[in-house]
Amino acid sequence: MQAQSGHRGMDGMMSRMDGNGDGMISKEEFMKAHEAMFDQMKGSNGMISLQDMQMRRQRMMEQRTK
């Protein structure tokens, strides 16, 4: 079962987090996705700054326009 949503971003987020493709996100799947997101955003100090978050958002927006 796939998630139904009129919002493209939510559909994409759902499919990225739904590791087993059952149309639902378990706590394990949610945490795994967000740990990966943290790892992609964190700076050299192992923490996330506002600038790190802004840079990640910009990269995501650029990928959507490709």
pLDDT of residue 38: 93
Q: Give the burial class of 11: count Cβ atoms within 10 A of its Cβ; 0-12 exposed, 13-18 middle, 19 or more buried.
A: middle
pLDDT above 50: residue 24: yes
pLDDT above 70: residue 6: no
**CA distances (Å), origin 2, targets 10, 16, 18, 20, 66:** 12, 12, 9, 11, 24
How large a percentage of the chain has pLDDT more than 90?
A: 50
Q: Give the burial class of 28: count Cβ atoms within 10 A of its Cβ; 0-12 exposed, 13-18 middle, 19 or more buried.
A: exposed
Q: Is the pTM of this model over 0.95?
A: no
pLDDT above 70: residue 23: yes
